[in-house]
A and B are shown apart, each in its own frame.
Chain A
Amino acid sequence: MLEYFQPSKDLGTPAILSEIMISIDIDGVAISVPEGTSVMRAAALHDINIPKLCATDSLEPFGSCRLCAVQIEGRRGYPASCTTPVVEGMQVTTQTEKLAKLRRNVMELYISDHPLDCLTCPANGDCELQDMAGAVGLREVRYGFSGENHLQVEQDHSNPYFSFDPSKCIVCSRCVRACEEVQGTFALTIDGRGFDSKVVAGQDQDFIDSDCVSCGACVQACPTSTLMEKNVIDQGQPEHSIVTTCAYCGVGCSFEAQMKGDQVIRMVPYKGGEANQGHSCVKGRFAFGYATHGDRIKEPMIRDSIDQPWRVVSWQQAFDFAAAKIHKIQAEYGRESVGGITSSRCTNEETFLVQKLIRTAFGNNNTDTCARVCHSPTGFGLKTTLGESAGTQTFESIRKADSIVVIGANPTDAHPVFGSLMRRRLREGASLVVIDPRNIDLLKTPHLKEAIHLQLRPGTNVALINALAHVIITENLQDDAFIAERCATEAFSDWRAFISEERHSPESSETITGVDPILVRKAAKSYATAANGAIFYGLGVTEHSQGSTMVMGIANLALATGNLGREGVGVNPLRGQNNVQGSCDMGSFPHELPGYQHVGVKAVRDKFEAAWNVKIDHEPGLRIPNMFDAAISGKFKGMYVQGEDIAQSDPNTHHVEKALKSLDCLIVQDIFLNETAKFAHVLLPGSTFLEKDGTFTNAERRINRVRKVMPPLAGLADWEVTLGLAKALGYEMNYSHPSEIMDEIAMLTPTFAGVSYDKLEKLGSIQWPCNEQSPEGTPTMHVVDFPIGKGNFAITEFIATQERSSKRLPLLLTTGRILSQYNVGAQTRRTENMAWHAEDVLEIHPHDAQERGVADGDWLGITSRAGNTVLRAKVSSRMQPGVVYTTFHHPGSGANVITTDNSDWATNCPEYKVTAVQVEKVSQPSIWQKEFQKFDKKQKKFLPTESAIESL
């Protein structure tokens, strides 16, 4: 979808959904629109353009600028067309001499206190004030410019991405309203009255010090250059744009990459994007500078050992070198001694190719993906209970939810655009239940009406979900009709008997969970008695020793209350990375071919064998942690890792590093020398989402197009690199464009059968399943039945983790992420987002801090049974006493040096959320950190210098 400056038209006020149509006449044109539509929008829909400044169709009408005045027959005065809804038979006139004069007068007042620097203004060519001055025919300003004005007001350049120039402000309040209505942060306000009115951030602070989360909604809404991207100020206006999909987080926002040649000037959230509907967060909107960062790897490199400098070679030499090493390993150690890891940051097509390479060229099923360490329990749990490994709804569905339950997720930080949508629904009156050891920001949503926080002890999720289910069943709050019609009778009967046992009551569970039973009962009733109850969950559910059990417990709750199969309800995993859903769909797991088709099923293998012309192993392959164990045992010797930093992201760093050092050939394909690449023998340059075509699938199963906006910096897109490697290994794959890969995916994957690039162009995006039954996709799953027929209640016995606090390790560590950084930070650490989070810190409750004499900023040694590391302290009451928290965005922090080898019983998803630790004040880095710094320095020195590359 290439758009040469034809951005979607701004219709002035939001669309109104109504089946009642109203007929009116505007300037002699007969118009019919849904009841409640504004006169402005009705006119704009028919290309009758009424001048406007304070109105924009992403915000509710405000009626302050008075520029959109119209005449309406039978009404007095000149009503604002933005705030006037249509009425049957209304006769509207938008252009008269009187209206023209009125609008000119209004504009004259605005311009009398506005700098006349249009030619040098950064908004020149993209300024609504300028456009409207032209539209109303302003030719003079009779008041002059010498009176009191705001032209010398100090500018605020504190935000790294945008500037605030109050001299350009017309106080239309669009920024304030965007911050409230779209983002839900309420960081901006209008201070003062009349002539003194001004936009201020926070308590009249600099933007950087205020509550502003830099989502960019205010910049997007500003009709002048008051709030303006620094990139535009520096580089000028873009000249073309291409719609693509963000590569941060599982929301999958659509953006217009606004370009000047091959250079991205700015990323502007695309109004037509169905996942984000024109909204963005600080990462997607602004943090794209990593794509052209000086650290990018632009040349293929090889070396024989990790103690040697890298040698820059041609692509072909790199492929041949890698293939020879893999062949040698397989000749010596057997076919199963090598494997690979697909990336949840790469496209569906690239992920499909990597697992295909492993199953064909490597000849085994040793393929896995980083979903192993995040949402693999979602796959297992939802497939067992509902029959499909995916969330059930659209994001938009939350607009109809009456009770919202958020479990182990922090959407305002980790899925910010969806977090804003959630906050909007909460402001509209939906109730909120949060199940989390931490006091997350969602609980502080302005105008939130009702919230219940079940602040449980880490590791007790299953006991709590059982207690909620116990209340629903024993208080007869279940949906009997839904259960009778949609669920397996025997499974329900067994589950009801199990869950009704007194040991699951909130009162009995309190000793395990630490949660007040009154609150548990209240929460259960809130969810079960709501017309529509929707559950959203994150890694606080999956990254436990009972992650899969907890997912099944959540599904049980939805089945029992009939909260499935329609809008406003459902079970919704919030996926961490941009293409976690897609990487799972594409057959990355060692036991499943694309579309979750098990390798043990002969009919499935027959289909793939015929298409790929190879024999496929009928046994599952190794998962990531199993690969590590096998490597240390000397049985696993070669690995191909695309776009994944297992050395930083996977738990128990000592173990991971030992495994990586045991490999004879580690092939890393990445955009940077990441932590894993420091252990590699072959380094293949990766390409960012801006440099390639493909698709991502977001958390709502929505397949979105990724479009190339600039050529790959190293010459090849990731999918082309995999083709080159496969060919060198002796298995040729022939595709000239990722669309052909998607055609093959559609041919082999029943849930993708109807997907094609042509259809994606036509529809914008598609939510799978997309096939003969649902040719345009499936927004809501399980409407009529489940893929397994009847919903399956699973028995969810609580079994405490072996990772428990003790006298020696009295605190429980839990890990997570924050808004400004993304995953291992490889991308965001190379942007100005460092302004908000330059280092990982350990959050500790004031009580625990006081007991240890710890103050903010102290260096703390954190010791677990796996290892120890040192972080700076941040005393915070977000945690409950006995629980500490950190993030893992910086490699030198060593957060995963302390996480353990415990994992989910069904999937081996690591138990990141529970690690028993002790904390004490220290004065120097840990031994691991000192070694890390030395190793890091040494490996960076091994990179060729620019001059060495140029001489080759």
Chain B
Amino acid sequence: MPDSLPTDSVGIVTPQTLHFDAPITLACGQTLDSYDLVIETYGTLNADASNAVLICHALSGHHHAAGYHSMDERKPGWWDSCIGPGKPIDTNRFFVVSLNNLGGCHGSTGPNSVNPKTGKPYGPDFPVITVSDWVQSQALLADRLGIECWAAVVGGSLGGMQALQWSLDYPDRLRHSVVIASTPRLTAQNIAFNEVARQAITSDREFHDGRYQDFDTVPRRGLMLARMVGHITYLSDASMGEKFGRELRDQAYKFGYDAEFQVESYLRYQGERFSEMFDANTYLLMTRALDYFDPAYEYGGDLSKALEPSNCEYLVLSFSTDWRFTPARSEEMVNAMIAARKRVSYAEIDAPWGHDAFLIPTPRYTDIFTAYMDRVAREVGA
């Protein structure tokens, strides 16, 4: 909780819920007749609606990207380090839109929303959502907000996949696509980690085939394990080593199996906290969306062919110690953009924090992001 709001904060923000009545058809073939999207906006839309920036969230993210919901909130939004007055995504110049994606569990329609057809929560009956589906719903959101063309669509990790997909699905509705710590497709190892997480959830006795709400319970243990294994892939060996090393909670070994090392208790704590605030069916859905993402698939694996319709300029950033989506994956994307004769800038940022580095403001990351977004702002007269 801040005593007073930092001057570079967007301040107190209030989410809004937008209701959509027109049916949306999803990649899986199913249709959602109506749905809600929860959003937050920061800054002011200019007269010609040219200064809008869309923020796409990652696996466990949501609409609350910057500022505080109240003076009692312990921490600001998840990307507060990059969004605010004078920050890389400068809210004095841009109108920033951040949403909770379809299938999420922070207010937008998802597995724990009530299915109007049954009067009960969707649970496991909620359709599997793809990155393309999200982009489609975000385009409908843009229509609603009167935004014909985004100055930039920006995202890290799974959010970066949405920024990339935007450039393929709506090439004329964005000027810049900023793809950070992302990948054009998951590797077998990435999918394997997701599968362990899903197995942890579905094998929890409280999961009840996804109908845990009917039993007034939550597969807390499974979610905790899923988060623990996920969390390991977000950090680097070096950053874990520096944070915990082999440090013990007490001075000596106890010759038992309780959490004796600091790293064990940290992971348990993170897992437990996560299991109290996240929905298990949403976790399954998000990891599946990650697995399925592969824009090159329809083009025989040739990403540069998939990129052909794209019309925007790209900024691609990777982090040196990210072993979840390595710099090599970003370079694969950049090389396809070069082959497709698209405009792209790329940098690999030296940072010790693994995949999580995209959330942590290091000087070079901040400098590059600021310089690039400053130029985007100048381009749209913001």
Do the two shown chains form a genuine complex with each other?
no
Residues of A at under 8 Å CB distance from B? Answer: none
Query: Which B positions have Cβ atoms within 8 angstroms of A?
Result: none
